[in-house]
Structure 1
Amino acid sequence: MSEKKNRIFSVLLSLLCIFMLLASVMPDSRAAETNSSVTLVCAQDSVKVSSMYWKIYKVGERRDGRFVLTGKFAGYPVDMNDLDTDTVRGIAQALESFIIGDSIEAHSTGLTNSDGTVVFSGLDSGLYLAVAKKVKKGETSYMATPLLFEIKEDGSAEKAFPKIYSTITLEGSVGSYTVKKVWVDNDDSYEARPVNVTVDLFKDGELYDTVVLDESSNWQHRWNTLELDSEWRVLERNIPVKYAVLVDYNSKQFLIKNSYAPEMLIEGGSQTATTTTAPVTVTSGSTSSTSAATTATATVTTASGSSLPQTGQLWWPVLPLALGGMTLICIGLLSGKKNKNDES
């Protein structure tokens, strides 16, 4: 009877050890989903920009080491395959246009304090977009370039430094704005380009006008206004199939860039996964000479060290290996019992 109790005790002890092993190596998803934060630091030279209103949106995530648009952003024709210094700004501003046009609700909002900082906490891992409203101080208006950043799974605090630029507004002057379409399709050698495109103009988040661009207008439209304190954005509607869109702008010029991308498929309302070789939070290059002369820098400093795996590392072998070890232990115990019975 004592030997039977010892065998039962050995099995229970083995099971306990295996479950403790699993608990120690499996990631704590709850910690990754609630303990991350990002601090946006808004300054231009020595000026710390306070009272700047920010919104952040979760736009995507990593899947097997790849970035993919998710949620309400899934299905937008934005090519996530090449997040380098020349495209990350255009991607961020294209997503901002979709947010305005489709009235997407923000994940969180916040206002910079006297130090020009604002903290967003309780963030789970994923790809985020931060956009800000213009803030006016005297005759100077401060604006921020939309920023893409990634919250990783280690729960560490991060700091992000959006590009801040400024303009001086003089009363009585007239503002002249331009939106221009640029095609990157080998001069339409694929014969996929439409005869015209429709563009919505938004003033302070509200639809102001809808214009049609085509060859007769040289794919551009110009408008004038006395409302220089307003913020303008543009959104291309009904983007042609097999074209990816980027948006670039400065304070008065907007460039909508459509690139022929037949490999970019959108199925079932979700963007197909595409590879990326670098973190999203990178330094953006200068804008096209056709539109803006402003450069954008977006960097994130992450706390070093992480005990949790990043997406793409494989956890699935842990459970089968543990179950296999448990099976071997049980087989050994049963074999010992059989041998003892044979000896008796």
Structure 2
Amino acid sequence: MLKLNEESFMKRFSKILKRITMAACVISLMFSGKTMTTQARGLIDTSKKGSLTIEYKYGDRHFDGVEVNIYKIGSVSSDGSFFELDSQYKAISPVTDLKSFTDKATVDEQWKKILDAVEPYAVNTVGPTATTTSNGGYAKFTGLDLGIYLVRSSTVVDESEECTYVFSSFLISVPQLDSSDNWIYEGGVYSASATCKCEKEALNEEFELLKRWNDAGYENLRPSSIEVVIKRDGEEYATVTLNEENSWHYSWSDKSGYMWTFEERVGGDINYSVSLSDTRSNDDGKVKITYVLTNTYNPPDNPPPPDNPPPDNPPDNPPDNPPENPETPGFPSLPEVLGAIRNLPEVLGARRLPQTGLLWWPIPILVIVGVVLIVKGIRKNSKA
């Protein structure tokens, strides 16, 4: 009888020991996985330089003579663990916390917002960090400070084909991550590469500029006309006057691939917020892009009293504890730069802009599940 009890006890003890061992292995694997991920990526050595190579092609055709400008808009943090926008671009970007880019479903949209905001400012105000020309279908930059770069490229006009090859602007980090989640580092230099997205478009495009007013109740303050400076790739293209006679409208045509921006001049001290939107249509190969400038009137905080103000406290209808300082509704502020909205291109061959950061929430859940399984096994064996 004693021997039978000993055998039964050993079987129970063996089962419990197996469960404890399995739980320990699960926990060990979870923490070892974290360590491997951190060690695989590592920190960026900010004392090193970087290189950038961009390929220019459409199908099997490679392009020489493409003028390429790059603009440094972000840097590596001082400890080499993440990227951040430089201060002048952070001030105008609607998205500033790059470490928050963890949702793959929205990350492209976030980078597009940054591109739309910084590109006109970089081109019109700051100027390129470096410039080169493609040779053999490739543009190469060396000796770069590490960080995030905006890449802009000139178009290629082919009169024989009656078309324009347009290369999309994009953002890229130097360095990049490889398929193993390691920083690409060769020959003492961090590197990055990309194939620029190219589209074959009509030789010329039609453009239209419209003015819209959002000033209900204040139409009498609207100016009789405004001037708009149209800029093509940062250089003044034309200055036009919009008014009721031309239905607040102006149109023109030009080659494809330019970036169009607008500066509005409104006389007087009228406070307007200005926003820009655009739409693109294609009718049997004829491309038309419409830009809409919308002026929203901002009433002053303390508007002047009317010509015939009512009594302060009418005896028949006294106010019920009116607030001393009623709040005025807020309106959007005037953006520093009105830039053409452009689609974020697919950068073939350029991997995602890298982020460091790990998901910790599964760890405590898995630990709790392991403990519950152990306790359940002990109770089951005790009943047996």
Q: Following the alignment from structure 1 to structure 2, what is the Cα–Cα distance between the partners of residues 91 and 26? A: 25
Give the counterpart letter for 2:347 in structure 1: A
Trace 1:246-285 onto structure 2 (pairs within 5 A): 252-253=288-289, 255=291
Paired position in structure 1 for 2:171: 148
Which residue of 122, 141, 155 corresponds with 2:143?
A: 122
3-state SS of paired residue (1:165): strand
| Residue 251 of structure 2 corresponds to residue 222 of structure 1 | yes
Match of 2:94 in 1: 79
What amino acid maps onto 2:146 in structure 1?
A: S
> Corresponding residue for 2:199?
165
Q: How does 1:42-57 map to 2 (within 5 A)?
A: 42-57=56-71
Q: Tell me the percent identity.
A: 19
| Pair 1:60-2:74 in alignment | yes
Equivalents in 1 of 2:148, 2:289: separation in Å?
28
User: Is contact 1:65-1:312 (8 Å) kept?
Assistant: no
Residues 182 and 257 of structure 1 are in contact (CA less than 8 Å); yes or no, is this contact kept in structure 2? Answer: yes
| Equivalent AA in structure 1 for residue 237 of structure 2 | Y
Output the TM-score relative to the length of structure 1.
0.51
CA change 1:223–1:214 in 2 (3 A) is: same
RMSD over aligned CA atoms reads 5.1
Q: Is the 8 A contact 2:169 2:345 kept in 1?
A: no
Alignment check: 8 A CA contact 2:115 2:344 kept: no
- Contact 1:157/1:302, CA 8 A, preserved across alignment: no
Q: 1:201 aligns with which of 230, 233, 243?
A: 230
The alpha-carbon deviation at position 97 of structure 1 amounts to 2.0
Structure 1 runs of 4+ off > 6 angstroms? 194-198, 212-220, 240-251, 310-313
- Structure 2 Cα separation of the partners of residues 28 and 180 of structure 1: 50
- Matched residue, 2:305: none
Contact 1:55–1:130 (8 Å) recurs in 2: yes
Opposite residue 141 of structure 1, the aligned amino acid is: T
Q: In structure 1, what is the Cα distance between the partners aligned to 2:107 and 2:75?
A: 17
Give the aligned partner of residue 154 of structure 2: 133
Indicate how the Cα distance of structure 1 residues 124 and 176 shifts in structure 2: closer, same or farther if over 3 A, else same: same
Give the secondary structure class of the aligned counterpart of 2:109: coil
Are 1:39 and 2:46 matched, yes or no?
A: no
The unaligned stretches of length 5 or more in structure 2 are 1-41, 177-182, 216-220, 266-270, 282-286, 297-329, 359-384
User: Residues 152 and 175 (structure 1 numbering): CA distance in 2 closer, same or farther, change over 3 Å?
Assistant: closer
1:39, 1:117 within 8 Å by CA — same for their partners in 2? yes
Tell me, in whole angstroms, the C-alpha distance in 1 between the residues paired with 2:233 and 2:292.
19
Q: Deviations over 1:128-149 (max 9, x none)?
A: 1011111223333211111111
Deviation at 1:203, TM superposition (A): 3.4
Distance 1:311 1:230, change over 3 A: closer
Distance in 2 (CA, whole Å) between partners of 1:49 and 1:123 is 24
Match of 2:118, SS?
helix
Q: Give how far 1:40 is off.
A: 0.9
Shift, 1:62, TM fit:
5.2
Residue 168 of structure 2 aligns to which amino acid in structure 1?
T
In the alignment, the residues of structure 2 paired with residue 182 and residue 90 of structure 1 have an alpha-carbon distance, to the nearest angstrom, of 23
Partners of 2:65 and 2:230 lie apart in 1 by 26
Residues 236/88 of structure 1: CA separation in 2 closer, same or farther (3 Å cut): farther
| 1:85 alignment partner, SS class | helix
Cα distance in 2 for partners of 1:90, 1:217 equals 33
The residue number in structure 1 matching 2:368 is: none
Structure 2 letter corresponding to 1:37: S
Are residue 95 (structure 1) and residue 109 (structure 2) matched?
no
SS in 2 for 1:148: strand
Which residue of the partner structure matches residue 373 of structure 2? none
Structure 2 CA distance, aligned partners of 1:256 and 1:39?
Answer: 37
The answer to whether the 8 Å contact 2:166/2:256 transfers is no
Q: Match for residue 273 of structure 1?
A: none
Q: CA deviation at 1:106?
A: 1.2
Is this contact kept in 1: 2:201–2:256, CA < 8 A?
no
Q: After alignment, is 124-133 or 194-203 more displaced?
A: 194-203
Question: In structure 1, what is the Cα distance between the partners aligned to 2:252 and 2:155?
Answer: 20
2:155 maps to 1:106? no
Q: CA shift at 1:157, angstroms?
A: 1.9
Amino acid in the other structure paired with 1:107: T
**How far apart, in 1, do the equivalents of 2:61 and 2:239 lie?**
37
Hey, what's the Cα distance between the residues in 1 that align with 2:109 and 2:244? 27
Contact 2:66 2:156 in 1 (8 A): yes
CA contact (8 A) 2:175 2:191 kept: no
Residue 29, structure 1, aligned to residue 46, structure 2: yes
Q: Is the 8 A contact 1:246 1:256 kept in 2?
A: yes
Aligned length: 242
Higher RCO (C-alpha under 8 Å, 6+ residues apart): 1
